[in-house]
Structure 1
Amino acid sequence: MKFLIFILFFICGFSQSSLGKSSPTAHFKVLQMNIWQEGTMVKGGFVAIIDEIVRADADIIFFSEVRNYNGQQFVPRVLDALEKRGKHYYGNRKTALDVAILSKYKLSDQVEVYPDGEGSGSILRVTIQMGKQTIAAYSAHLNYTNYACYLPRGYDGFTWKKLEAPVNCADSVLVANRKSWRDQSIRVFLQKVRKDIEKGYLVILGGDFNEPSHLDWQDDTKDKWDHNGLVIDWDCSILLYDGGFKDAYRVLYPNVETHPGFTFPSDNKDVPISKLAWAPEADERDRIDFIYYYYLPGFTPVKASILGPDSSIVRGRRMKENSQDSFIIPRSVWPSDHKALVVEFTYGKVGST
């Protein structure tokens, strides 16, 4: 009997040791959320933000549209509210930017990468130590004006007024798009992020880009969603892909037709349609909220869901989506006019093949 116990112990011990030596993996979850003026646009919006954070239970959270109204810092308010729910998070230090980062792990090395001057956009960076792995996390909210994806749909992206006819030239759309300085924001990001990449950090970038992805505006969708026959290589996503980044949602769901992943304009049952959409006679749905990651072998997204209502605003009406996207439906109040994004990642021996 003693001999048998010894053999079983040896086998189990050997197996555990072997597993421990074979590319151990770790896991973390990221939430990207446009909180629509800190939830103030919806009755009960702040509490709803807290509700959804608790339910998502993400390790890292990116916020867009942080305002610090009336001199009251938003991040400490959120941290206090979460603490009362038994959820301990760390938040970024005070910043003039309209973005924020929360994490279950301590944050350090905060840097304002791109300033929010004259509405030009915001990008904030922190580092997060997760075990032995350092993560460089960037939160972005790019300029909302010159919203050029409205031009093919027959609306001006600056005045929001209806045009005499849709713009039918992709080059003209891109010229208008570049007036937003969104491409400049990403160029600055790509320049600054090189140091993190050289150090071997895992890099994630989450935010409301106010610009679609080139992956969603190719031949397969040129006659859908009021693209009006245009194929457009949108600047920010092209720049990021050229810089070695991947769009987590599209990596997992490359079929744009079955998984469009629209994040704006989201339906919100507690808000009039007139406050949710800006092109009432068009199908203005797009995916403009993203989580990108710098590609390294061993670092990969394994699951992605859209957090928010499974309905959108289409031609001035509420319409339930009939896609195969995975939705996490809000429990009660939804605090935003965007849908949020939840992505889970794993990483093992990063950089190994």
Structure 2
Amino acid sequence: MRLTNLLFTTLLLFVSVFARSQKSNEFTVLQWNVWQEGTMVPGGYDAIVNEIVRLKPDFVTFSEVRNYNKTNFTARVCASLKEKGLSYYSFYSYDTGLLSKHPITDSLTVFPEKDDHGSIYRLTSSVNGHKVAVYTSHLDYLDCAYYNARGYDGSTWKEIPLPASVEEILKVNVASQRDDAIRLFITQAEKDLAAGYKVIIGGDFNEPSYRDWIEKNKDMYDHNGFVVPWTVTTLLEEAGFVDSYRKIYPNPLTHPGFTYPSDNP
């Protein structure tokens, strides 16, 4: 699979892309929303470490690694992996992180974290002489229009009236600043591509893919009859990026994207 422009649509537990035998210009990526460092689930942290050991990806992009334990999460993971014979370099921020088998040559704050409106960071590395720019992100979770479309308040899980229209849903979406963050990413990514980098963005976008909320499944899952042109994935696709989840699972009826886990095999 060519990974020049690859978008990881998360809000799933994780998405991974790998090949049985790698060529010199191929690399593997694991994107994982670990939800409070994996520590809210018994055995969660160990499961994260063991899965990385199993897959041995070139890069791991993390989201929701908030420092509840007052530790540097990615450094802690690196130490655990070293005990199992694997060496990784790491990057850590307030809510995201990166592991890389290859030295991290540069870092850049693309969209700074402020008032919980999310963040995007750019890290660069080299795989067999090929330059790679990996972006790790966690976008705004406060103004989550997809919760409104389901009739729930995302922070308290309190039932609320369903919105009357798609326009009403997207009006909530504008306040999130997710589109602003992605536009800044696209601007920087275009510079990377022009400079010969392969570009990856991984993270929790806190927004479904527009490919998931379509006419065919508007009455399925928790869509409540809505067909929503979710904006983050629309912007990314218009910029030439590929939704890796939809690449692997093209059918949104049998493999929906961001739904409650019980709806997704």
Q: Deviations over 1:303-328 (max 9, x none)?
A: xxxxxxxxx347xxxxxx5x4xxxxx
Q: Provide the rounded CA distance (Å) in 1 between the counterparts of 2:224 and 2:166.
A: 11
1:144-183 alignment to 2 at 5 Å?
Answer: 144-157=141-154, 160-163=157-160, 165-183=161-179
1:269-348 alignment to 2 at 5 Å?
Answer: 285=259, 312-313=261-262, 321=264, 323=265
Q: Deviations over 1:129-188 (max 9, x none)?
A: 00121110000111111211122222234554212x321311110001121111111111
Q: 1:223 to 1:71 in 2, by over 3 A?
A: closer
Q: 1:261 to 1:172 in 2, by over 3 A?
A: closer
SS of equivalent residue, structure 2 residue 229 = coil
Report what 1:135 is aligned to. 132
Q: Please, what TM-score do these two structures have when normalized by structure 1? A: 0.65
Q: Provide the rounded CA distance (Å) in 1 between the counterparts of 2:257 and 2:55.
A: 18
Structure 1 unaligned regions, length at least 5: 1-23, 263-284, 287-311, 315-320, 324-353
Structure 2 unaligned regions, length at least 5: 1-22
Q: Provide the rounded CA distance (Å) in 2 between the counterparts of 1:128 and 1:68.
A: 25
Q: Please, what TM-score do these two structures have when normalized by structure 2? A: 0.85
Q: Provide the rounded CA distance (Å) in 2 between the counterparts of 1:71 and 1:144.
A: 22
Q: Count residues with an aligned counterpart.
A: 243
Whether the 8 Å CA contact 1:31–1:62 is kept in 2: the answer is: yes
Q: 1:183 to 1:56 in 2, by over 3 A?
A: same
Whether the 8 Å CA contact 1:114–1:123 is kept in 2: the answer is: yes
Computing the radius of gyration over CA atoms, which structure comes out larger, 1 or 2? 1
1:243 aligns with 2:243: no
Whether the 8 Å CA contact 1:146–1:158 is kept in 2: the answer is: no
Q: Deviations over 1:96-141 (max 9, x none)?
A: x311111111111111111111001011111110012111000011
SS of equivalent residue, structure 1 residue 240 = helix
SS of equivalent residue, structure 1 residue 152 = helix
SS of equivalent residue, structure 2 residue 28 = strand
Report what 1:32 is aligned to. 31
The alpha carbon displacement at 1:222 in A equals: 1.1
Identity of counterpart residues, as a percentage?
45
Letter matched to residue 136 of structure 2: S
Letter matched to residue 104 of structure 1: K
Calculate the aligned-residue CA RMSD, in Å: 1.9
Q: Provide the rounded CA distance (Å) in 2 between the counterparts of 1:255 and 1:64.
A: 26
Pick aligned residue for 2:118 from 113, 116, 121? 121
